[in-house]
């Protein structure tokens, strides 16, 4: 993994978060829609996705040729995954991260990026599977914990997403960027409570 990346995907809009190199502020994260009998899905906020990195096809071709001649080289496959992920070419990134994981299945960073690409490409179930594999071996893996919450949120499992982020905040209480999740967690729990109240009033 080239960088420490957290991603947030909601309603077809992708937000990239790079710890230490923030592409967008945490305050631009979408908020959960209101819950209740008359609630409607909130529109995605007018925030732009992080700019795609410049993709060099010659470099990619050279790395692919190197991969063909070095079938046991994990690093070159990971680098190809990084290149395609940076360019938001998710399926190609998935292919190369998958190739790297065949050689190094226990690499938690590569597997987390692999799962993040599935989430970005609209397949949160597959992403969740990858994050769970990482967290089974490394329960404290920060990016896997965050992205597990993202996948759950995109699957409509907002309470479980809040629980996942709560665990992250508790494990990293001194991280100021992670601490900003507290507001989102509170909003999800508040919306869920409002929904239960509306259901009980019927």
pLDDT of residue 202: 57
**Closest by CA position to 10, among listed 147, 175, 165:** 147
Listed in sequence order, the residues at least 6 apart from 67 whose beta carbon sits closer than 8 Å to its beta carbon are: 73, 76, 77, 80, 99
Listed in sequence order, the residues at least 6 apart from 21 whose beta carbon sits closer than 8 Å to its beta carbon are: 3
Quick one: average pLDDT of 176-202?
76
Residue 9 has pLDDT above 70, yes or no: no
Entry pTM: 0.73
Task: Quickly state the pLDDT bin for 31 (edges 50, 70, 90).
Answer: very low
pLDDT of residue 8: 44
Tokens of 167: 């665990």
Pairing of strands 13-18, 5-10: antiparallel
pLDDT of residue 6: 53
pLDDT of residue 41: 35
Give the residue, 183 or 124, on which the prediction is more confident: 124
Q: Which helix (H) or strand (E) holds 41?
A: none
Pick the range with the lowest mean pLDDT from 28-42, 48-62, 99-113, 162-176: 28-42
Tokens of 45: 């906020």
Quick one: average pLDDT of 74-93?
96
Q: Return the residue matching tokens 């629980």.
A: 163
Task: Quickly state the pLDDT bin for 176 (edges 50, 70, 90).
Answer: confident
Residue 57 has pLDDT above 60, yes or no: yes
Taking only the tens place, the pLDDT of each residue in 139-169 is: 999 999 999 999 999 999 999 999 999 999 9
């Amino acid at each position: 993994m080239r960088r420490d990346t957290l991603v947030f995907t909601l309603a077809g809009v992708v937000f990239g978060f790079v710890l230490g190199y923030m592409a967008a502020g945490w305050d631009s994260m979408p908020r959960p829609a209101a819950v209740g009998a008359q609630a409607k899905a909130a529109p995605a906020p007018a925030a732009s996705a992080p700019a795609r990195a410049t993709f060099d096809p010659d470099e990619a071709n050279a790395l692919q040729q190197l991969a063909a001649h070095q079938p046991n080289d994990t690093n070159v496959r990971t680098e190809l995954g990084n290149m395609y992920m940076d360019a938001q070419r998710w399926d190609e990134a998935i292919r190369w991260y998958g190739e790297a994981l065949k050689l190094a299945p226990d690499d938690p960073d590569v597997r987390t990026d692999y799962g993040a690409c599935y989430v970005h490409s609209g397949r949160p179930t597959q992403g969740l599977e990858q994050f769970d594999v990482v967290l089974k071996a490394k329960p404290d893996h920060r990016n896997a914990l965050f992205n597990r919450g993202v996948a759950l949120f995109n699957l409509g499992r907002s309470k479980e997403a809040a629980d996942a982020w709560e665990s992250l905040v508790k494990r990293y209480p001194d991280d100021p960027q992670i601490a900003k999740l507290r507001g989102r967690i509170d909003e999800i729990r508040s919306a869920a409570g409002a929904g239960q109240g509306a259901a009980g009033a019927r």
